[in-house]
Structure 1
């Protein structure tokens, strides 16, 4: 799922919005031929899929979709929606441009005996999708269902994007060893088919930490455990770039680009990420505690949940969006009004149930005796332990280790005001405060009680209203 929610998802979101607007309120293609709407659907779907394989190809596909819809448009609004979709794909492509780098020496890396054949899975997948697309087109031309055109265009576009990815990766690998590259002094850990790199910052307090796969699987025989060794990095240390590392005369040739680049504390003496003792890491940040969480009695129960206005807004958006999407697909498949209503009813029910389990129902209670939570699956109660830990991942989730469980607590930004709920830092501080209190008390009370709330009547009314709105809008 991580991959799906990255910045490429903006193209998919823009494509879904364009689909709902063009085929919903704007009436779809003006051409009455049955092929027109399926071709139009295919050129909308293709860029959304292609963005995950090759952003540049997705941008060109977005422009092609806009050109196609300009010819199919029955109004200026339809053409504007399609060109806005293309603009989103083009703007995303500009993120691939290399940022300005600091002045460092340039040197060409040593030439390896041979370059590995990279991106083979993408190459195989690309050719397979092109063959499937050609087969589907032949089937349509020989009397097959016209609706296959949408899948044919989407598969052809994704296949082209995968092959473009192969070409780009192989060109960047050749460029890495054929041109001058930035040179950095680093510490590297050589592992089986993998190199872990630490690039100390000039002050030596922090370092950039990243890794990439390499062609050769071996490492020095004398190393019983992985250890950092001095090395030379050739290339730009940024996500998606291609780099090579030379360690004590051994050249590590990459078979993939650099992954995520993190900034970590650096131990200049050991040449390792600076370790932090658990007790120090789990200290309470007094500045992050809300006034209501200061000086709270050890067994006074506190609770966290997503701010109700935000939770209800998100749930309604999920449910109504699911209903509209299912209704549009039912109409595109040639369904009747009854089919539209049935599809919207089922999709809205699934959407509201998902929203209930991820937005409205989750809650957390805690005191010095432990924690109790209701999550997506159900309730869980756990006592604090010496190895309990509370951290947040900077993406709206607090990860809580207590007893025998690892709990993930959703903590989106407070809305509509900062007072409507704790933010991630405030929740982490409040939980660590209770954890610290638990170490000073014996015996401890059991974790707080918690019950799974019932679905409110408003949830069913919202579901019904979404189905009625979908039928009125699309019917």
Structure 2
């Protein structure tokens, strides 16, 4: 679920809010022609889809949509909503501004034998969507029954343009990589089939940045079974989404894709490889992060972690109400009968509250020296501590816990409100590590704690019914 937290998602969220305000509060377009509302809906959907392949294209689409809605508006609120939507898309697109040059030597990479053609899937998909949009325009021109498809046609055209812009940008970035001086880094690299794995050691030598990218060479240089790193020279900026070339000896690896996720890992200077995380300093307890109750707790005292109830309930209500309003408004826009509208609102609210229940209210973790018991989105785990157990957090609200044969992702968002008793990610990691260390020094150990799957509370069903009723009142 980590993709839901991407900053790009703020654009579809703003588009959903604009849609609910324009069609649910401000009365939709002023033009009574049937095509007006579908064109207006299409220009709201387009930026929400195109922001993922190309943020700049989404910003342009949102601005053009706001320009279109300005003369169509029935009230100043519609104008404000559409231009706020465009402002969000513009702010997100500004995140693509070039970063400041790195304070390292710069020089041009060696000239490659040939520049490969990259981003072909995006290019093919973009042309296919443009052809689909053209066919949709022809269909609308010859048949009045096809007017509702104008929204899909406009959205397909916008997404197709964004995909083509992504392909053009990728090809231009690859050419620029070999035509202009680039930052130069001394790295360690592993040459593998179709891609290279790179380690960029930090100056202090204790950590390294680890990442990989696809290259044009289809075959690895050697067939040795052991994986080892070699000294290499990296040209380009080692950050996610940038384009880099790698020189290993007399071999130049030409990229066919940008750098993937960049992570920081403990580094072994002697071996030139990431250091294994087991019982080293990465798994020690930070005493400043231990709560007094965790520091003084008995080793066999069960302790529990849950998302703070206020935050969990607020998020669940927002998910259920937002899903019901969005789909009910779309059903009303499509002219569906009232009975179908009620069914759509009920199903959408039910799905939203079920998702909120499983992702916010139900997850919990219980532990003591005997092991851990956890209930997640899908099921339940109960595992003892082991010598290879590990607890880390990813700085994005998730604690990754390895115990026994299970790898668990425990949601730990920031406590809200501030007075809530929920542990932060650092506090939960410290408490779990402290219990694990104490467990390894005790024998015999009891079984892991028991944790029953909770039933859905009655309040959840009451909120579902209230949401359906509120949605019908708002939409009507």
Whole-Å separation in 1 of the counterparts to 2:264 and 2:22: 44
Select between 203-212 and 360-369 the one with higher mean Cα deviation. 203-212
Q: 2:277, 2:283 within 8 Å by CA — same for their partners in 1?
A: no
What is the match of residue 81 of structure 1? 81
> Is 1:387 matched up with 2:388?
yes
Aligned pair in 2 of structure 1 residues 251, 65: CA closer, same or farther (>3 Å)?
A: same
Aligned pair in 2 of structure 1 residues 35, 257: CA closer, same or farther (>3 Å)?
A: same
What is the match of residue 124 of structure 2? 124
Q: 1:191, 1:226 within 8 Å by CA — same for their partners in 2?
A: no
Q: How far off is 1:427 after superposition? A: 1.1
Q: How far off is 1:37 after superposition? A: 0.6
Alignment of 1:306-321 (within 5 A): 306-321=307-322
Aligned pair in 2 of structure 1 residues 383, 167: CA closer, same or farther (>3 Å)?
A: same
What is the match of residue 6 of structure 1? 6
What is the match of residue 99 of structure 2? 99
What is the match of residue 430 of structure 2? 429
- Segments of 5+ residues of structure 1 without an aligned counterpart are none
Q: Deviations over 1:131-181 (max 9, x none)?
A: 111112212212142111111111111111111111111111111112222
> Is 1:48 matched up with 2:48?
yes
Partner SS, residue 8 of structure 1? helix
Q: 2:200, 2:208 within 8 Å by CA — same for their partners in 1?
A: yes
What is the match of residue 15 of structure 1? 15
Partner SS, residue 220 of structure 1? coil
Partner SS, residue 343 of structure 1? helix
What is the match of residue 175 of structure 1? 176
Whole-Å separation in 2 of the counterparts to 1:50 and 1:433: 46
What is the match of residue 254 of structure 2? 253
Select between 336-345 and 457-466 the one with higher mean Cα deviation. 336-345
Partner SS, residue 131 of structure 1? helix
What is the match of residue 234 of structure 1? 235
What is the match of residue 334 of structure 2? 333
Select between 396-405 and 459-468 the one with higher mean Cα deviation. 396-405
Q: Deviations over 1:408-438 (max 9, x none)?
A: 2211111102542111111112122222222
Considering only aligned residues, what root-mean-square deviation do their CA atoms show, in Å? Answer: 1.8
Partner SS, residue 7 of structure 2? coil
Q: How far off is 1:235 after superposition? A: 1.8
Aligned pair in 2 of structure 1 residues 267, 374: CA closer, same or farther (>3 Å)?
A: closer
What is the match of residue 369 of structure 2? 368
Whole-Å separation in 1 of the counterparts to 2:235 and 2:437: 46
What is the match of residue 210 of structure 2? 209
Partner SS, residue 357 of structure 2? helix
Q: How far off is 1:114 after superposition? A: 0.8
Q: How far off is 1:291 after superposition? A: 0.9
Aligned pair in 2 of structure 1 residues 371, 224: CA closer, same or farther (>3 Å)?
A: closer
Q: How far off is 1:70 after superposition? A: 0.8
- Segments of 5+ residues of structure 2 without an aligned counterpart are none
What is the match of residue 112 of structure 1? 112
Select between 261-270 and 458-467 the one with higher mean Cα deviation. 261-270
> Is 1:65 matched up with 2:65?
yes
Aligned pair in 2 of structure 1 residues 103, 456: CA closer, same or farther (>3 Å)?
A: closer
Aligned pair in 2 of structure 1 residues 68, 403: CA closer, same or farther (>3 Å)?
A: same
Q: 1:316, 1:352 within 8 Å by CA — same for their partners in 2?
A: yes
Aligned pair in 2 of structure 1 residues 452, 426: CA closer, same or farther (>3 Å)?
A: same
Whole-Å separation in 2 of the counterparts to 1:302 and 1:188: 44
Q: How many equivalent residue pairs?
A: 475
Aligned pair in 2 of structure 1 residues 404, 209: CA closer, same or farther (>3 Å)?
A: closer
Aligned pair in 2 of structure 1 residues 379, 4: CA closer, same or farther (>3 Å)?
A: closer
Partner SS, residue 147 of structure 2? coil
What is the match of residue 163 of structure 1? 164
Q: How far off is 1:231 after superposition? A: 1.7
Q: 2:278, 2:390 within 8 Å by CA — same for their partners in 1?
A: no
